[in-house]
Amino acid sequence: MKQLFEKYFLLFITISLIIALTAFIIYTRRQESTPLDSLSRILKSGKIRVITQNNANCYYIYRGEPMGFEYELAREFAAFLEVNLEIITPSWSDIFYTLDTKQGDFIAAGVTITDKRAQKMLFCQPYMTVQQMFIYHKSKLPIESIEELPGRTIHISDSTSYHERLLEIKESGIDIDMVVHDDLDPEDLLRMISEKEVAPSSKSSSSDKEISYTIADSNIALLNRRYYPDIRIGIPIHEKEYIGWAVKPDDIELSDKMVVFFDIIKSNGVYDKIYKKYYGNVDEFDYFDLLKFHERLETRLPRYKKVIMKECEKYGFDWRMIAAMIYQESHFDPKARSKTGVRGLMQITEETASDMGISNRRDPVQSMKAGIAYLKQLYHKFNGVNDTLDRIKFAMASYNIGYAHVLDAQRLARRQGLDANKWSSIKKTLPLLAKKKYYTKVKYGYARGGEPVKYIERIFMYYDILKQKAHSGG
């Protein structure tokens, strides 16, 4: 009896182990055969792939560093997920195919949300409002209404919302001569308009015509107007639209994460900081300002470029940033003199000239050597400012209005509970030095504190143009 019990018990144990092992194998194989959703796969792999465009708006490399509005947002999102970011830059005509074939995880390329696109992909919450605008060369007659389209040739990129809109206008009965390019993106067309390039053969036309008209979103048009001052921004052709990131239709978890991410960065100021970096004051310059700047980059800057580069290498500055500063000071005119008596390329005071050991403020080489060395001295005074770019702005503000007044602005920042070592704080408190309520309570008194804020904004606008010229080979 005992032997029989042991026999059946052993058989029971054996069968139980076989069943358990079989169940484990089946479960494991099911787990292996069931694909992870995109978010789970991203978190498991430690990498997210962004599909974007290599242009001034989205993503480009400057001095070995990645830049661009969409890139910086995507970088913040990758940090939010605690994963690495991989950049994928297909042509515009392949951008949606790249997502559809799972070669990337999401599109961040200034994509307008349209009904047609929303049927094929899932958009997260919109993060920017834009309008489609007519763009034309300054030598051409503007388009002042949709009814004036007949007789004008409009060049556009394939697979864009602009193409969709022009087709709608055409279906309404307005005759449009439309050339669709599958190998040019909207920013290519803006550049070609500015440079009066001849159109290559395209899907809809094989004739060689000078490109004079196109369509671009308002943010892209304003941003590129800095680089191409010969373009003009005309009338809008559509109501305001939204821009958003796109994922595949079944990537709901990833889209939900994006919603949370944008809520966070819009409430903590990160989004505003990135937005202002790329789009702040884009509509502030008039065409004359921009044309004059571009002209003097060609006619005046070459005379001084070697000295600027040499001195900047000595002191660790980006020469393009200092060139932008010199232009803001004097428009590259060594004879420039302000109403306050400062002179030369870098508008140096007599006191600073004496301190820096130069005898002739009008001598371009002396002026640049002294001015750049003095800027470095001011830079060293702000050891508490950890961000390099902020520290340069503190130094430039001191160069413009005086070191003592910047110290006063820092004092005001502390009183207001702001971080006195961040430029975002000081640009708020510097203008207060012109108000009696504030300047009577600081050590060095009244100052036109709004001026250095505008001064730095303009320098960095010029600097941005110089960076873009470097990126494009100019």
Residue 392 sits at the vertex; the CA angle it makes with 390 and 393, to the nearest 5 degrees, is 65
Burial class of 34 by CB neighbour count within 10 A (0 to 12, 13 to 18, 19+): exposed
**Measured between alpha carbons, how far is 206 from 215 in angstroms, rounded to an integer?**
20
**Measured between alpha carbons, how far is 369 from 419 in angstroms, rounded to an integer?**
33
- Give long-range contacts, CB 8 A cutoff, 24+ apart: 56-60: 56/187, 56/223, 56/224, 56/227, 56/468, 56/471, 57/110, 57/187, 57/219, 57/220, 57/223, 57/224, 57/278, 58/108, 58/109, 58/110, 59/87, 59/89, 60/471
List, in sequence order, every beta strand (DSSP E) within 182-327. 213-217, 231-236, 241-243, 246-247
**Measured between alpha carbons, how far is 406 from 426 in angstroms, rounded to an integer?**
8
CB 85 within 8 A of CB 78: yes
What DSSP designation does 199 have?
P
Active site residue 197: no
What b/e sequence results for 114-137 when a residue is b if at least 16 CB atoms lie within 10 Å of its CB, and e otherwise?
Answer: eeebeeebbbbbebbebebbbbbb
Of the residues 70, 72, 311, 329, only one is catalytic, namely: 329
**Measured between alpha carbons, how far is 335 from 360 in angstroms, rounded to an integer?**
11
**Measured between alpha carbons, how far is 309 from 316 in angstroms, rounded to an integer?**
10
**Measured between alpha carbons, how far is 452 from 267 in angstroms, rounded to an integer?**
28
Name the residue among 466, 460, 468, 464 with its Cα closest to residue 190: 468
**Measured between alpha carbons, how far is 300 from 410 in angstroms, rounded to an integer?**
37
CA–CA distances in Å: residue 21 to residues 13, 14, 15, 16, 27: 12, 11, 10, 8, 10
CA–CA distances in Å: residue 371 to residues 328, 349, 361: 13, 10, 10
**Measured between alpha carbons, how far is 368 from 385 in angstroms, rounded to an integer?**
25
Count CB-CB contacts under 10 A for residue 429: 24
Residue type at 292?
A: K
372 CA to centre of own chain: 28
**Measured between alpha carbons, how far is 6 from 181 in angstroms, rounded to an integer?**
82
* Residues with active-site annotation: 329
